[in-house]
Amino acid sequence: MKKRSICFALIAAVVMCSMFSTTAFAWDDTGMTAQFKYTKEAPAPDPEPTYTPKYEVALPAPTNFSGAYGDVTLRMAYNALNEDEQLVVKVNPSSYDEHGNFFLKSEEGNILYAAIARYGTDPAAAEIANSGDDNFIVAVFNNSGMDAIQYGTIRVMALGRDAAAPGEYTGYLHLSIELTQKD
């Protein structure tokens, strides 16, 4: 029985030792193995074309007014127009209702009609747009700087404000920007 116990203990020791990995060192060995791995990487994708803008028109902050009108001046934030180019900013037809009117609306659904005007440096020279005018230019820029060379300031004038119900009215004036060749 003792022989069997010693035999089982010896077998168990061999099995246990073989379960653990060991590193063997060979001194004065004349051979060795080097491992090489080759990895082929996918080719780099073609770089996306870089886009350099010609212009950037600064969006004005929302304009609040409680009197007869509110003004907003359009300026360029970046201008790289060529000598023969100009930037034309117009009122987009989507600014008007189906009858060609621009309006502001309260949260309660009340409507306050308004007129749209444009001017350059002299507010007294403001020109009012015809109802539904889809070709009403509000600013023209060229390569001379950041300010408009024609018009540049939009004025929204509240019509019938004395009869309007109290409240906050909001309207959205949509603008179209077109890069054209100078005439």
Parent domain of 118: 55-181
C-alpha atoms less than 13 angstroms from C-alpha of 49 in its C-beta half-sphere: 3
Domain CATH number, residue 162: 2.60.40
Q: Domain for residue 84, yes or no?
A: yes
Q: Domain for residue 143, yes or no?
A: yes
Q: Looking at the 3D structure of the chain, how many domains does it have?
A: 1
In single-letter form, the type of residue at position 51 comes to: Y
Q: Domain for residue 9, yes or no?
A: no
**pLDDT per position as a tens digit, 6-56:** 655 556 555 555 555 555 455 555 555 566 767 778 888 888 878 788 999
Q: Domain for residue 10, yes or no?
A: no
**pLDDT per position as a tens digit, 148-158:** 999 999 999 99
- Quote the pLDDT of residue 95: 92
Q: Domain for residue 34, yes or no?
A: no
Q: Domain for residue 123, yes or no?
A: yes
- What span, in angstroms and rounded, lies between the C-alpha atoms of 168 and 174? 20
